[in-house]
Chains A and B, each alone.
Chain A
Amino acid sequence: MIRAVMVINTLGKPRLAKFYEFQPVEKQQELIRSVYGVLSSRAETVSNFLDAESIFGPDTRLVYKHFATLYFVFVFDSSENELAMLDLIQVFVETLDKCFKNVCELDVVLNYSKMHTVLDEIIFGGQVLETSSTEVLKAVEEISKLETASNAISLVPKSVSSWRSR
Chain B
Amino acid sequence: MAGFSVMDTLFQRTLEDLIKGLRLQLIGESAFLSKALDEIRREAKSTDPDTKANALHKLTYLSSLHFYDMSFAAFHVVELLSSTRFSHKKIAYHAASHSFDESTPVLVLITNQLRKDLSSTNELEVSLALECLSRIATVDLARDLTPEIFTLLSSSKVFVRKKAIGVLLRVFDKYPDAVRVCFKRLVENLESSDSQVVSVAVGVFCELALREPRSYLPLAPEFYKILVDSKNNWVLIKVLKIFAKLAPLEPRLANKVVEPICEHIRRTGAKSLLFECIRTVVSSLSDYEHAVKLAVVKIREMLVDDDPNLKYLGLQALSIVAPNHLWAVLENKEVVIKSLSDVDPNIKLESLRLVMAMVSESNVAEICRVLVNYALKSDPEFCNLILGSILSTCCRNVYEIIIDFDWYVSLLGEMSRMPHCQKGEEIEKQLIDIGMRVKDVRPELVRVSRNLLIDPALLGNPFLHRILSAAAWLSGEYVEFSLNPFELMEALLQPRTNLLPPLLKAIYIQSAFKVLIFSLNSYLLQRGSPASFSYSDKLLPDVPGLVSKRDIPECSDLASCDAPVLGKQDEGFNPRVLNQSFGDPSVEYGGEETSTCGQSSASASLKDSFTHESIINLLNRVELAVVPLTGSYDVEIVERARNVLCFIELIKPQMPDCLVQKEEGSDREEAEASKIIKLMHDAFSNDLGPISVSAQERVSVPDGLVLEENLEDLETICGDVQLPSLNSFSLGSSYFEETACVSIPIFQSREERGPSNESTSLLAEHRKQHGLYYLPSEKKDGDYPAANDLQLQANHNDDDDEDLAKITEQLLVPKKKPNHAKPRPVVVKLDGDQAPIAAGPHPKEDLLSGTVRDVLLGSETAPTTRSPTNRKGKEKLNVDSATDSKENLGDGEKREQGNSSSRKSKHRNSTVSHSKGRRHRIPGKKGDEREEHGQKAKQKSSGRHKARQRAEVPLNVVSQTPVIPDFLL
- Residues on A lying within 8 angstroms of B by beta carbon are 1, 14-18, 20, 22, 25-26, 28-29, 42-43, 45-51, 78-79, 81-84, 86-87, 109-110, 112-113, 116, 120, 124-131, 135, 139, 142-143, 146-151, 153-155, 157-158, 160-162, 164-165
Q: Cα distance A50–B345 when bound, in Å?
A: 9
Q: By the criterion CB–CB under 8 Å, are B272 and A128 in contact?
A: no
A-B contact pairs, 22 of them (CB 8 A): A17-B65, A22-B136, A46-B345, A47-B309, A51-B346, A82-B275, A84-B233, A84-B276, A87-B272, A120-B131, A127-B200, A128-B199, A128-B234, A129-B163, A143-B90, A146-B124, A150-B87, A151-B87, A153-B85, A157-B12, A161-B11, A165-B16
Contact with B204, one of A26, A43, A127, A143 (Cβ below 8 angstroms) = A127
Q: Cα distance A142–B61 when bound, in Å?
A: 23
Chain B nearest CB, measured from A130 CB (Å): 6
Q: Cα distance A147–B11 when bound, in Å?
A: 22
Instruction: Tell me which residues across on chain A come within 8 A of B64, comparing CB atoms.
Output: 17-18, 112
Interface residue? B922 (CB, 8 A): no
Interface residue? B514 (CB, 8 A): no
Tell me whether A25 and B10 are in contact in the complex, defined as CB-CB below 8 angstroms, given that A45-B308, A48-B309, A127-B204 are known contacts.
Answer: no
Chain A residue with Cβ nearest B308: A47
B94-137 interface code vs A (CB 8 A; 1 in, 0 out)? 10000011100000000000000000001010000011001110
CB under 8 Å from chain A, chain B span 169-196? 169-170, 196
Chain B residue with Cβ nearest A32: B67
Contact with A131, one of B17, B234, B271 (Cβ below 8 angstroms) = B234
Contact with B86, one of A15, A82, A86, A146 (Cβ below 8 angstroms) = A146
Q: Cα distance A165–B939 when bound, in Å?
A: 70
Instruction: Tell me which residues across on chain A come within 8 A of B9, comparing CB atoms.
Output: 157
Q: Cα distance A64–B310 when bound, in Å?
A: 15
Residue from A14, A26, A113 with most neighbouring chain B CB atoms (10 Å): A113
Q: Cα distance A56–B140 when bound, in Å?
A: 28
Instruction: Tell me which residues across on chain A come within 8 A of B16, comparing CB atoms.
Output: 110, 165
Give me 7 other A-B pairs in contact (C-beta within 8 A), A48-B308, A48-B309, A110-B19 excluded: A15-B65, A47-B311, A83-B272, A84-B233, A124-B131, A127-B203, A131-B199
Interface residue? B829 (CB, 8 A): no
Q: By the criterion CB–CB under 8 Å, are A28 and B272 in contact?
A: no
Q: Cα distance A5–B807 when bound, in Å?
A: 60
Chain A residue with Cβ nearest B23: A109
Tell me whether A112 and B15 are in contact in the complex, defined as CB-CB below 8 angstroms, given that A25-B68, A154-B50 are known contacts.
Answer: yes
Interface residue? B347 (CB, 8 A): yes
Q: By the criterion CB–CB under 8 Å, are B234 and A46 in contact?
A: no
Chain A nearest CB, measured from B355 CB (Å): 18
Chain B residue with Cβ nearest A30: B67
Instruction: Tell me which residues across on chain B come within 8 A of A112, comparing CB atoms.
Output: 15, 19, 61, 64-65
Tell me whether A161 and B347 are in contact in the complex, defined as CB-CB below 8 angstroms, given that A84-B272, A127-B166 are known contacts.
Answer: no
Interface residue? B292 (CB, 8 A): no
Tell me whether A125 and B134 are in contact in the complex, defined as CB-CB below 8 angstroms, given that A81-B275, A109-B23, A143-B124 are known contacts.
Answer: yes
Q: By the criterion CB–CB under 8 Å, are B275 and A128 in contact?
A: no
Q: Interface majority SS on B: helix, strand, loop or mixed?
A: helix
- Residues on B lying within 8 angstroms of A by beta carbon are 6, 9-12, 14-17, 19-20, 23, 48, 50-51, 54, 57, 61, 63-65, 67-70, 85-88, 90-91, 94, 100-102, 122, 124, 130-131, 134-136, 159, 162-163, 166-167, 169-170, 196, 199-200, 203-204, 206-207, 210, 233-234, 237-238, 241, 271-272, 275-276, 308-309, 311-313, 343-347, 349
Residue from B11, B130, B159 with most neighbouring chain A CB atoms (10 Å): B159
Instruction: Tell me which residues across on chain A come within 8 A of B134, comparing CB atoms.
Output: 124-126
Q: Cα distance A164–B13 when bound, in Å?
A: 10
Q: Cα distance A142–B347 when bound, in Å?
A: 44
Q: By the criterion CB–CB under 8 Å, are A45 and B50 in contact?
A: no
Q: Cα distance A24–B130 when bound, in Å?
A: 22
Tell me whether A81 and B237 are in contact in the complex, defined as CB-CB below 8 angstroms, given that A22-B135, A165-B14, A165-B17 are known contacts.
Answer: yes
Q: Cα distance A165–B18 when bound, in Å?
A: 11
Q: Cα distance A138–B10 when bound, in Å?
A: 33
Instruction: Tell me which residues across on chain B come within 8 A of A49, comparing CB atoms.
Output: 309, 312-313, 346
Chain B residue with Cβ nearest A88: B234
Chain A residue with Cβ nearest B272: A83
Q: By the criterion CB–CB under 8 Å, are A127 and B169 in contact?
A: yes
Instruction: Tell me which residues across on chain B come within 8 A of A45, comparing CB atoms.
Output: 308, 343-344
Nearest 9 Cβ contacts at the A-B interface: A125-B134, A83-B272, A46-B344, A47-B308, A150-B86, A22-B101, A29-B67, A47-B312, A84-B272
Q: By the criterion CB–CB under 8 Å, are A83 and B210 in contact?
A: no
Residue from A124, A127, A155, A162 with most neighbouring chain B CB atoms (10 Å): A127
